[in-house]
Amino acid sequence: MSRSVDLYGTAYGNFAAEVLAQVRRDTYGEDFGQSSWVTGPEYRRFFQLLELAAADHVLDVGCGSGGPALFLAREAGCRVTGVDVSEAGIEAGPTLARKAGLDDRAHFRRADVREPLPFPDGAFDAIVCMDAMCHLPDRGRLLGEWRRVLRPGGRLLYTDPVVVTGLVSNEELATRSSTGYFEFCPPGVNERSIGQAGFELVRAEDVTENEVEVSRRWHAARQQRAAELIRLEGEETFAGLQQFLATVHRLTSERRLSRFAYLGRKPGE
């Protein structure tokens, strides 16, 4: 059985460390503070699919350190509210927003999505959730909350990086889920859940290749800086994260676990 590994606490708590900035640059090419499988070109394409306009207000669920929310605000020109359960992540967001001169367009608050979202009905024009849906329990209820806080005609786009598309051993599942709570699902579950929550499913797209490449580069970038990272994280955490990333790469490159993007629309416009 794999031990738990604190991927997000490590990433957010040490966000400003230069060695982690170097790892992000090598991993993503374009570092905007992400700790998921999304890259700059992919995220920009998602903005286009969402048809974002400068007047839109976007909710970023699972915003982490806030970097992707600021990237969205800067690239699309819209307002963004980021929510995350991680204290370390949420604390980093406002500081980054001030440094980027975006504190008038990007706001952050801690929220546990197991509870009702702390926003009124119809507050947002769009919702994004990058690679965090697999960490959130009670998906049907959560999608219902998203529908509530979206205006009529509002759009959602989320990625699920652990859709089971092949045979996966119990040991592989344990390692893949060693960084926290996970829900793995077979193809079709997300599509049905979106429809049952009252959304129109506009698009479901296989975007596994991004996870294949990001996991490979992330593992290699960390390995290249092993000594520095061990001093920062400790040997056990470093080894656990390397095993995690190697397992992600193997499972996705063999398409036994796949990553999909789902685009939905709330009826009404």
From CA 247, how far away is CA 124, in angstroms rounded? 37
Condensed to tens digits (0 to 9), the pLDDT of residues 6-51 reads 555 555 556 668 899 999 999 999 988 888 999 999 999 999 999 9
Domain 7-259: what homologous superfamily? Vaccinia Virus protein VP39 (3.40.50.150)
- Of 195, 127, 184, nearest in space to 160 by CA: 184
From CA 43, how far away is CA 168, in angstroms rounded? 29
- Which pLDDT score, from 0 to 100, does residue 127 have? 98
Counting as low any pLDDT under 50, the low residues of the chain are 1
- Which pLDDT score, from 0 to 100, does residue 1 have? 45
- Which pLDDT score, from 0 to 100, does residue 225 have? 96
- Which pLDDT score, from 0 to 100, does residue 91 have? 80
Instruction: Return all residues near 59 (Cβ < 8 A) that are at least 6 apart.
Output: 80, 81, 82, 83, 117, 119, 123, 124, 126, 127, 128, 146, 149
Per-domain residue ranges of the chain: 7-259
Q: Which residues of 151-183 are buried (b: 16+ CB within 10 A; e: fewer)?
A: beebbbbbbbbbbbbeebeeebbebbbbbeeee
Condensed to tens digits (0 to 9), the pLDDT of residues 53-82 reads 999 999 999 998 889 999 999 999 999 999
